[in-house]
Amino acid sequence: MKNMRELIFLLAASASLSLGNAAEALHFPSRTCDIVPKDTDLSGEAVFPFVNVSAKPITITLVLPACPCTVPHLEKTTYLPGERGEIHVDLLFGSMAGVQNRKLEVQSDHPDGLSTIIEVVMHLPSGPTLDPPILHWRQGEAAGTKTVMIDLPADFHHRLLSVTSSHPAVTAMLVPAIEAAGAPHIDVAVTSTAQPLVATLQIMADTGKQYQVFITVDEHQ
C-alpha cells in the first residue's frame, strides 16, 4: 500500500512538472493588459510581450480571439530559446462602454498542447443607456409610435447627432433633451406590421461612435 501511495505521488509530481514546463514554454510577464482609451477613441491597441523560456524553438500556431473586436497579429510565428516577441491586438471599441473584458487563446506547437489565455481589459468611458434596447411589435398589431428613452451618464459630455433606420418601413426621430423638456428619447414608428421584419437603428454621436436599437415585428408575444 505504501509503495502504491509513493507511486501515485511520483506520477502526480511528474504530471505537475510537465504541466509547469508546458505552461512556461512561452512566458508572459503579464497575461492581462489594461487599456484606458479617451472617449473620442474608436480603436486602440494592446501589447503582450513574451519570451520563449523552453530549450527548443516554439511556433505560435494560432491566436484565437473570442470577439471580432480584437484582432491579433504577430511579426513572426517561430521563436528560438530565449527569444522575445510581442502579440499585438488591435481593438475596435465600437459602441462598447464601461469595463469590457476580452480573452484570446494562444496556441503553439509545444508537445504538451497546452494553450495560454491572455486578456484585454478595456476601461471605456460611459455611454448612453437605451431603454428598451429592443422594440417589439406583434405581427398584426396596430402600427404606431413607441419610444426609446435615452439616459446620458454624468461623464458623457457629447451630443447625439442623428438616428437612421436600416429598414424603409421603420422611421425614427431623435428628440434632444432641450426639446423633450426632460430626458432625450427616440420616437420610433413602423408603417405596417402585416409582415415580419427586423431593423436596426443607428444613433450617431459627435465622437463618431454609434449606438444601436433593434426593431422587430413577428408573431411572438
Residue 180 in this model has a pLDDT that exceeds 70: no
**pLDDT tens, 84-131?**
999 999 999 887 888 999 999 999 998 887 899 999 999 988 888 899
Please tell me the pTM assigned to this model. 0.65
Burial 151-160 (b: 16+ CB within 10 A, else e): ebeeebebeb
Residue with cell 524553438: 57
pLDDT digits 0-9 by tens, 133-144: 999 999 989 988
Q: What is the pLDDT of residues 9-33, one digit of tens each?
A: 333 334 333 333 334 799 999 999 9
Q: Which of 73, 91, 124 is the last residue of a domain?
A: 124
For residues 136 and 206, membership in a common domain is answered with yes
**Is residue 157 domain-shared with residue 194, that is, in the same domain?**
yes
In a domain, 200, yes or no: yes
What does the pLDDT look like over 42-54, one tens digit per residue? 899 999 999 999 9
- Domain end position, chosen among 124, 145, 165: 124
208 and 167 within one domain: yes
Tell me which of 124, 139, 171 is where a domain ends.
124
Q: Side chain identity at 18, as an amino acid letter?
A: S
